[in-house]
Amino acid sequence: MSRPGVGALLAGSLALGLGCAVEPDGMEDLAAETGLGSPAGVVPDEARESTGGPRVAAGVASEVWAVRNAWTDTDTAEARLAGVAWGASSGLTWEAKYERWVASFRRVPRSDGSGTTVELPTPYGGRVARAPTLECAEVAMFLRATFASWYHLPFYLQGWDSTSRQVFYAGHFGFVTRTGQTLARFPAFKTRYADHEARWRPGMPWPSDASLRRMHLGTDDAVPYLPAVGGSPAGAGAWFDELLLNKRTGYFLRLLLLYFGSVNLADGNNMYHVRPEAISAGDVLLERWQRQGIGHTIPVVRVSQPMPGRFAVDVVSGSMPRRQPVWDDPSSSRHYFTLDATGGEGNAWDGVPYARLGGGLRRWRTAVFSDGQWSNVVLPADREAYLEDTNLTAIAARPARFGEVLVQLSASERRRVALERVATARAHLRAHPASCSARTSREDAMAELYEVEALEGRDRAAVDAQHRLLEDYVFAELDYPRSRTCCWNTTTAAMGELILDFARVEQERARARGQCVAPTAFRASGMGDGYDVWRAHAMTVGRAAEWRAWSEDEPCSGRASTNDPTTDRGGAAWCSLPRR
């Protein structure tokens, strides 16, 4: 899961994105650049209209790429051409081709050596691209927008500007209002930036845009396999420069990913709910535990049917702090689809039913043009797969249904997957010790492990004795909405070392006294910003400069907490474990 935040843009702005992250302090710089002072929100009910999207003419100065094709085309000159994942005269719609492209992604090792990620085929002379470093919602949006740009298809997302109280749209036509006017100070992409598509041919040098190449989404978007830029690590801008001949799309993607996120993907105007049996590559699973703010976004990259009526699903997901997307095979992805927070039964922390929050399996609406106006629609071919936002009963039933239709794992496979998920969460916490999503992910995996081991007669205490580590108690699961630690996304690996070093010292001193003491959980507690214990330890060991002060890196309902509450899922008490 991602419960992220973002840092400063090296190109002069601070990143902001509501799908997995928000850094309020960066909003001033981003607003100075674009004139839009807040991330794109969900259009309030009272402002919704049934008139579709913007009225904007082709070829306006704000245009990012020209639209030459419709998503339903099958027999036009361009539709008959071979593409990245289909042959000539395929007879496929562009929607089907998008599905084919996503399903064609290769599984390759991640740059840090842990797990696997995706490698993307491109339309340009056999060029391929390993995945960049992104937040979770950013992965889904960049895939759809990039494909649309390559093949000159329409694409847009609808959002809400809370300052001017108006709907706006970000898409192939740029950032515009309902009447098609450029929003605030967003760029005139067509007249400001270059497009090399018409001039480049395979074998020619790849054109580069020095300004785009220097841009970043945040301080956490480094792409380690690309050359440094001006002495600094390459980031998202450099990756866009490598991926796109149309540099306008790179500049557009930067702003799209900073302003839009999972809250917008949960908006029925942009994506719609899909029945479990209709799942396909290119769909997106959303985890939503609140109406506004962050969530988790999980693109589906591969679907197979090993037997009639049973599905095996591969997914990829970014996180926050940003990471190169992680590929989860059917063994490890199954649990995502059965979570209540993916639109299932029950209520979120604030009492709102999960089914009302937009979570669950969703599919992109298709942009169409009619009578001078753009609209995002559900195509007739998808009506059987479509679930209306108001069909809460069917929406809430999906996690349980996925439990029935997704392939079942053997006990040994379930054990392996659970332990792998625990290890992955621990590694993330050592690098980002305030991550509450990683703490929750670890406890979800431990709950699965308890269930598997119970089949063989082992109780929870025995499982904890074998598998719990000191760090699991140090990074205890916190109550997300009421904990200020959960909003702190800029903690570092150096801080993780200091926190765990303090825990080791604490245990050594207790043993020297012949005592057992419960490890001090890393959370806000006490006076000041709540972290004086660890700051003092950093000073004691001569590493004071490596400790960062707390910062509100995403909208924080728990900002005032002086004692972050833990949950009751932390396993047996430390001092009760048989091996202690």
Q: Would you place residue 50 in the very low, low, confident or very high pLDDT band (cuts 50, 70, 90)?
A: low
Q: Is the pLDDT of residue 48 over 80?
A: no
Task: Report the pLDDT value the prediction gives residue 580, as an integer from 0 to 100.
Answer: 53
Task: Report the pLDDT value the prediction gives residue 409, as an integer from 0 to 100.
Answer: 78
Q: Is the pLDDT of residue 27 over 70?
A: no
pLDDT digits (tens, 9 = 90+) for 473-512: 999 999 988 899 998 988 999 999 999 999 999 999 999 9
Cβ–Cβ < 8 Å for 490, 553: yes
Looking at 13-17, 23-27, 135-139, 157-161, which range is the least confident one? 13-17
pLDDT digits (tens, 9 = 90+) for 298-350: 999 999 998 888 999 999 999 878 889 999 999 889 989 999 999 999 998 88
User: In whole angstroms, what is the distance from residue 340 CA to residue 144 CA?
Assistant: 26
Q: Which residues pair with 128 in a beta bridge?
A: 121
pLDDT digits (tens, 9 = 90+) for 184-227: 999 999 999 999 999 999 999 999 999 999 999 988 899 999 99
Q: Would you place residue 449 in the very low, low, confident or very high pLDDT band (cuts 50, 70, 90)?
A: very high
Q: Which residues pair with 366 in a beta bridge?
A: 377
14: DSSP letter: B
User: In whole angstroms, what is the distance from residue 369 CA to residue 199 CA?
Assistant: 28
Cβ–Cβ < 8 Å for 329, 317: no
Angle at 443 between CA 437 and CA 447, to 5 degrees: 145
Segment (H or E) for 117: strand 116-121
17: DSSP letter: B
User: In whole angstroms, what is the distance from residue 42 CA to residue 89 CA?
Assistant: 40
Task: Report the pLDDT value the prediction gives residue 557, as an integer from 0 to 100.
Answer: 79
Q: Would you place residue 8 in the very low, low, confident or very high pLDDT band (cuts 50, 70, 90)?
A: very low
User: In whole angstroms, what is the distance from residue 279 CA to residue 190 CA?
Assistant: 37
Mention every residue, 6+ apart, whose C-beta is less than 8 A from residue 475: 429, 433, 438, 439, 442, 521, 522
Tokens of 276: 């479990």
**DSSP assignment of 86-110:** B-TT----HHHHHHHHHHTPEEEE-
Q: Look at strands 296-307 and 366-370 and give their pairing.
A: unpaired
Task: Report the pLDDT value the prediction gives residue 26, as an integer from 0 to 100.
Answer: 54
**Number of residues written out for the chain:** 580
Find, among 545, 548, 556, the residue nearest to 485 by Cα. Answer: 556
Q: Would you place residue 20 in the very low, low, confident or very high pLDDT band (cuts 50, 70, 90)?
A: low
Task: Report the pLDDT value the prediction gives residue 579, as an integer from 0 to 100.
Answer: 60
Q: Look at strands 156-161 and 366-370 and give their pairing.
A: unpaired
Tokens of 320: 């926050």
Burial 172-194 (b: 16+ CB within 10 A, else e): bbbbbbbebebbbebbebbeebe
46: DSSP letter: G
Position of tokens 């245990």? Answer: 507
pLDDT digits (tens, 9 = 90+) for 259-281: 999 999 999 999 999 999 999 99
Mean pLDDT of 124-147: 95
User: In whole angstroms, what is the distance from residue 458 CA to residue 573 CA?
Assistant: 17
User: In whole angstroms, what is the distance from residue 369 CA to residue 389 CA?
Assistant: 23
User: In whole angstroms, what is the distance from residue 123 CA to residue 132 CA?
Assistant: 18
User: In whole angstroms, what is the distance from residue 47 CA to residue 167 CA?
Assistant: 8
User: In whole angstroms, what is the distance from residue 432 CA to residue 553 CA?
Assistant: 13
Q: Which residues pair with 86 in a beta bridge?
A: 83
Task: Report the pLDDT value the prediction gives residue 49, as an integer from 0 to 100.
Answer: 64
298: DSSP letter: E
User: In whole angstroms, what is the distance from residue 385 CA to residue 279 CA?
Assistant: 8
Task: Report the pLDDT value the prediction gives residue 242, as an integer from 0 to 100.
Answer: 97
Cβ–Cβ < 8 Å for 364, 282: yes
Greatest alpha-carbon pair distance for the chain in Å reads 81
User: In whole angstroms, what is the distance from residue 207 CA to residue 531 CA?
Assistant: 49
Q: Would you place residue 525 in the very low, low, confident or very high pLDDT band (cuts 50, 70, 90)?
A: very high
Q: Is the pLDDT of residue 431 over 50?
A: yes
Q: Is the pLDDT of residue 30 over 80?
A: yes
| Phi/psi-derived region of residue 197, left when phi > 0, alpha when psi is between -120 and 50, beta in every other case | alpha
Cβ–Cβ < 8 Å for 300, 315: yes
Q: Would you place residue 44 in the very low, low, confident or very high pLDDT band (cuts 50, 70, 90)?
A: confident
Q: Which amino acid is at 437?
A: S
Task: Report the pLDDT value the prediction gives residue 151, as an integer from 0 to 100.
Answer: 98
Q: Is the pLDDT of residue 22 over 80?
A: no
| Mean pLDDT score of the chain | 90
Distances (CA, A) of 304 to 62, 94, 568: 41, 21, 38
Q: Alpha-carbon torsion 445, 450, 452, 453, what sign?
A: positive
Segment (H or E) for 258: helix 247-259
User: In whole angstroms, what is the distance from residue 280 CA to residue 322 CA?
Assistant: 26
User: In whole angstroms, what is the distance from residue 525 CA to residue 438 CA?
Assistant: 20
Mean pLDDT of 370-374: 94
Q: Is the pLDDT of residue 14 over 60?
A: no
Query: Taking the CB of residue 469, how many other CB atoms lie within 10 A of it?
Result: 10
User: In whole angstroms, what is the distance from residue 299 CA to residue 220 CA?
Assistant: 21
Bigger pLDDT: 8 or 279?
Answer: 279
Cβ–Cβ < 8 Å for 385, 291: no
Position of tokens 């106006």? Answer: 373
Task: Report the pLDDT value the prediction gives residue 552, as an integer from 0 to 100.
Answer: 87
Listed by start position, the domains of the chain span 24-265, 271-405, 411-576
Helix (H, G, I), strand (E, B) or coil at 423: helix
